[in-house]
Amino acid sequence: MSDLDALFEAARAVREKAYAPYSNFLVGAALRTPDGTIFTGCNVENASYPVSVCAEGGAVGALIAAGYRQIAEAVVVGDAALCTPCGMCRQRLKEFGTEHLVVHVADLSGIRRSFTMDELLPAAFELEDKKD
């Protein structure tokens, strides 16, 4: 199994744990750090809709909590033709993405498209003096 296949399988597996009783739209995200460590997250909805957390948000939180600060590659899996990260998650991924971060968008059978961060979030907001 290739590294990308493993990342896809991790995202697909965590998607099954999503809590999405309101939308019934389950999403899984898997992030790979430059050293190959994988972190995952799934969407967690709430009766108060704005409290809901995206899959990417959960995965980024896990990565940061483990002491990592960089994302080299990401896979987002949803049962849709093109389950791209929402605007907030594009900004989240940009914050921690390496210069060459690629975000792969997948349905349940496999990866459908791959994007650079510049394609997902052109002219992104960044603080030049970002502290890490």
Q: Which residues bind Zn ion (CB under 5 A)?
A: 54, 86, 89
102 C-beta neighbours (distance < 10 Å), count: 18
| Annotation marks residue 56 as catalytic | yes
CA dihedral defined by 65, 15, 48, 22, rounded to 10 degrees?
Answer: 180
The nearer residue to Zn ion, 87 or 110, going by C-beta atoms, is: 87
Do residues 30 and 59 touch, judged by C-beta distance below 8 A?
yes
Helix (H) or strand (E) holding 21: none
* Closer residue to Zn ion (CB): 83 or 102: 83
Q: How far is the CB of 128 from Zn ion (least distance, A)?
A: 25
Give me the least distance between CB of 57 and Zn ion, in Å please. 6
* Choice among 9, 16, 56, 126 that is catalytic: 56
Distance separating alpha carbons of residues 54 and 83, to the nearest angstrom: 12
Please give the annotated binding residues for substrate, written as ranges: 43-49
Catalytic amino acids? 56
